Structure 1
Amino acid sequence: MDKVLKYAGHLRMEIPIFLYMLSSFIKFPVFQNLAYEKICYQHYHDDVLCSNASAYYKDKSIQAEANHFIFASSMILTLPSILSTLILGAVSDNRSIKIPLLLPYVGLVFASLNYIVQGILLHANANYMLISDAIFGACGGYICIISTTLTYGVKTTRLQHRSYRIAGVEGAIGLGGTLGYVLSGTIREAFGYAYTFLFILILISIAFFYVLILAKEEVRIREDNSIGFCSSILSYIRKIICDFYFVLTKPRAFRNILALNLIGLGCELFIFAGLMDIQFSYMRYKLGWGDKAYGWFSGLSYGLTTLAILILYPFLRSKGVTDGILGCAGMVTKIASLIMLAFLKSEAMAYSIAVVTILNRFVSTGFRVFISSLLETDEQGKIFSVISLLDGVTSLCATSMYNMVYPKTLDFFPGFLFLLSAALLIFPIIVLFISDRTVHYHRLEVDSHSSDEAPPSPTPAETSSTM
């Protein structure tokens, strides 16, 4: 039997997740820009040349080495974060909810300290930056921050208010990402790498102390101490595997449709993760962009998609447009933007693409909501765990493929992977559209039969005669 110790505290998870997303999106372009400078210096030992992105943006050897570095960075971050997130999930369920919230921020503090050092030692090997990825990954990484934030928000919010809390977290993620992209290169250009990472460290420290002071703890003390910590972790992992198996194999009306849509979502997540890894390199190669120009472009794109998902998506749903159709609309515009990116020629064209991508976040939202609608209420937590695992696995696969293949395409057609991604999206569009129509018409038919078979309401005379 568990004795649960609870003490007061009130935490708005929107604040720390906003600070994390702000720091993360400031870091992303600056980190890649610093990697390019370090790799360039190892090749040419020329500070003036390497600090000017437009001077060597067509150098294929640096492009290839930079993409191999990004591949290593993604693998070193993601692989340990999957395992550590499972461990911290067990801690959250069996010991304390506060430790999993705090540990990723501790990792980010030490990771930022290393980035500051690497920003000062510009001539040091770029691989020393990977130490930060290893530290953050071992402490849970971005997967743990997102999952623990949502878990805490759900556990500490009443059922009728949970949708508003999740919407608030989504809004904080969007706002943090937009501002982070816009500020990244501007701050770095004004103050340099070291001070940019120092600013990131300050943001992370504020988030850490906010959670430390205000998070409401829930410590579980077991009277039966015969089960050790390692055993509880193994038990938690076994429970997750059983949940996955149960969701995917349980007899249900639309089991095949569920399986196909999970494959379709996996395809979309694969494409998203792969393009995120190579897009900075691609824009640099095609237009000579550094972190500032890329940050403004990405900030505009992210801001527009955030506004669309927070305002346009709910509005269209209120007008009767289904989640599946909205997801398909997002994929159609995404295909159009990928084709345009493949043949990118100018900055003006790039910014027009940012407008075309406005519905991009409809894709994952439409898929997730449609998939969750196929399951019972008590299965919602299980299916989102399945999707989180799918996200991690597809990210690893995409990182391997896109970063390894992209440098080879520079010799014949740099936009090849964007066209390939556009072609791959045709499969999830077909799956989601047919699935949505099938389920929609089936439910209309069931509702129609139910209303036809319902007994007529008694008339007042019939009612009085029975009294």
Structure 2
Amino acid sequence: MKGLYLVEPVVALYAFSCFLIYPLVQQYVYRRLWQELTNTPYPTSDNASRCADNSSSNHSSYHEEVQRQTSLFFLYSELFSTIPSLVATLMLVAYSDRGGRKVTIIIPLIGTLIYTLSFLAVSYCELNIYLLIVASLLSSPFGGLATFLGGCFAYIADLCDDDRQKTLRMAGVDMMIGLLSGVASISTGYFLRAAGFNWPFLTSALFQGLILLYVIFILEETVTKAPADSVILDGSPQRSAMKQTIYGVYYMFERANRRSKTTLFLLILIFTSFCFAYVGGSSLVTLYELNKPLCWNEILIGYGSALSSTVFLVSFAGVSAFTYCGVPQLLIVLMGILSVISGMVMLPFAKTTFLMFMVRVPMILSVMPFPVLRSMTSKIISQSEQGALFACLSFLESLTTNVSAAVFNSVYAATLEWFPGFSFLLSAGLCVIPLFVLGVVSLRGVDDAEEVKEQEPIFQGEEDLVEDQNDPVSLLS
């Protein structure tokens, strides 16, 4: 069978399978902790009864304790799985420059499948809930979502020669994530109410198995041999895999001229600081919806998650339209950051179901900065080092995602009693950092740096590297 160069179906089905269970994970942990702490069944028919204050009972104190313990549960889960996941991300995506992109996609799929099957086992057999933290630790060495997306973006960068095509196709990947995750989120609430937790976990595992078969047997490899300008440290690639990975990321910066190097660093700083603020605040939305006074049930949570996922669709349309009209890329990033700030500022004051749905409207452009920043950094780096670049981006994205989730969950647990929405205001405040750095990049002129990169080769060959270890880049006069 002839292979295909279509990675979008992989991303689409992966997003569907993951978002089929992501809204369930917090709800499952929340319900199990409710049962353990209150010794009463979780009230599924009427969520208002769960949140109602009753002066003759400890209902309200139980409610706050369940909220606190749930946030701490995910804090521990993130802390234990962070380091193995980071190492896997850096190793796999950087090594894909030589070993091929498919391995960077296959291994995270295996890890996600292990994680999903672990949830199914704990749910079906009613095992100790803290075994889920062990499952997270066991699946983390396979990488995660950041590793998977890093491999997919590097795969797309191999296929695209035109910068505009690269930007649009990377934005298209984010759009596919939003489209399928929205469908999955709507299905989740009804699926849970009709069949419980077991069937959604099983369905997700089946989809992940299907994706795995597609990648292994149908998806074509884009890297058939090591790049001609790759750094070879010794004659045995297997023995030097670790060194090759580290040096691949190191020389990505070392070979660049000074202006490109500075611009690349600033763009990555915008990417990571924005990711920290946005993901940290977004990770608490479901827990906040379970809290008083909203007290949403699984159906409302599903609709809320689906509405949130529409930001991927609108952001893709925004990136496509603005790129077509020639809007500067830095301005597109600015609009995305301002979109996140406006939504996060409104979230703490959404006390009704209507307002909680409406608060998603200001955030419809919040995903735009991610594909644009990936494309901008990709244009600064040579074609043979795309894997090293996306390894660096995926590593930093995974790091900031895990750290921000841990930080924001701990902040939420600490501020729950006096102001549950404080974490969202913190998220909005932290967005000032990428805004400031964006202003610095704008003043420096990122387009000038890209122009210099096009005129001056980033790499002159292995002979130049041997002759001058301190200055591997010789500029053309």
TM bucket, shorter chain = 0.7 to 0.9
Report matched runs for 1:168-179 at 5 Å: 168-179=172-183
Figure out how many residues of one structure are paired with residues of the other and give that number: 431
Tell me which structure has the larger Cα radius of gyration: 1
Tell me how far apart the structure 2 counterparts of residues 424 and 132 of structure 1 sit (CA, whole Å).
32
Structure 1: stretches of 5+ with no match in the other structure = 1-6, 447-467
What CA distance in whole angstroms lies between the structure 2 residues aligned with 1:288 and 1:424?
A: 28
Q: CA deviation at 1:368?
A: 3.8
Q: Kindly state the Cα deviation for residue 82 of structure 1 after the two structures are TM-superposed.
A: 2.0
Change (3 A) 1:72 1:237: same
Q: Which one of the candidate residues 122, 143, 148 is aligned to 1:145?
A: 148
Question: 1:128 aligned to 2:122?
Answer: no
Aligned residue identity for 1:204: Q
Give 1:462's aligned residue.
none
Match in the other structure for 1:37: 31
CA distance 1:79–1:293, change in 2 (3 Å) = farther
Aligned to 1:159: 161
Q: What amino acid is the match of 1:17? A: V
Partner Cα distance (1:92, 1:438) in 2? 33
Once the two structures are superposed, the pairs formed by residues 8-87 of structure 1 within 5 Å of their partners are 8-49=2-43, 53-57=47-51, 59-87=63-91
- Counterpart residue number, 1:227: 236
Cα pair 1:78 1:141 within 8 Å, conserved = no
d(CA) in 1 for partners of 2:423 and 2:160? 45
Query: Partner amino acid for 2:133?
Result: L
Deviation of 1:32 after TM superposition, in Å, equals 0.9
Distance 1:432 1:89, change over 3 A: closer
Secondary structure class of the residue paired with 1:253: helix
How does 1:122-271 map onto structure 2 within 5 Å?
122=126, 124-155=127-158, 157=159, 159=161, 165-216=169-220, 227=236, 229=238, 231-243=239-251, 245-246=253-254, 250-253=256-259, 256=262, 258-271=264-277
Q: CA deviation at 1:407?
A: 0.9
1:273 to 279, 288, 292: 279
SS in 1 for 2:359: helix
TM-score (norm 2): 0.80
- Higher helix share goes to which structure? 1
**The residue matched to 1:413 in structure 2 has which SS?**
coil
**2:167 and 2:371 in contact (8 A); partners too:** no
- Aligned counterpart in structure 1 of residue 348 of structure 2, from 323, 329, 342: 342
Amino acid at match of 2:236: I
Alignment match, 2:303: 296
The one-letter amino acid paired with 2:32 is K
The alpha-carbon distance between structure 1 residues 340 and 103, as it changes in their structure 2 partners (threshold 3 A), is same
Q: Is the 8 A contact 1:331 1:429 kept in 2?
A: yes
Spell out, residue by residue over 1:123-173, the C-alpha distance to the aligned partner (whole angstroms, 9 max, x if none): x32212224323332222222221222333444x36357566545433322
Q: Is the 8 A contact 2:348 2:421 kept in 1?
A: yes
2-structure distance, mates of 1:74, 1:54:
31
Alpha-carbon distance, 1:388 to partner:
2.1
Report the alpha carbon displacement of residue 204 of structure 1 after superposing the two structures with TM: 1.0
**Secondary structure at the counterpart of residue 364 of structure 2:** helix
Q: 1:440 to 1:9 in 2, by over 3 A?
A: closer
Contact 1:327 1:362 in 2 (8 A): yes
CA distance in structure 1 between the partners assigned to 2:243 and 2:415 by the alignment: 46
Distance 1:441 1:88 in 2: 31
Asked if the contact 2:185–2:305 (Cα under 8 Å) also holds between the matched residues in 1, the reply is: yes
Moved more, 90-99 or 65-74: 90-99
State the partner residue of 2:107.
Answer: 103
**Structure 2: any 5+ residue segments left out of the alignment?**
52-59, 227-232, 453-477
C-alpha separation between the residues in 2 aligned to 1:95 and 1:240? 13
Identical positions, percent: 23
Shift of 1:288: 0.9
Return the letter of the residue paired with 1:60: E
Assess if the C-alpha contact under 8 Å between 1:327 and 1:365 holds in 2. Answer: no
Aligned pairs for 1:369-448 (under 5 A) are 369-372=375-378, 382-436=388-442, 438-439=444-445
Output the CA distance in 2 between the equivalents of 1:215 and 1:289: 41
Of the structure 1 ranges 312-321 and 351-360, higher mean CA displacement relative to structure 2 is found in 312-321
2: CA distance, partners of 1:439 / 1:219: 37
SS in 2 for 1:46: coil
- Aligned in 2, Cα 1:181/1:103: closer, same or farther, shift over 3 Å? same
Name the counterpart of 1:357.
Answer: 363
Task: Give the TM-score of the pair, scaled to structure 1.
Answer: 0.81
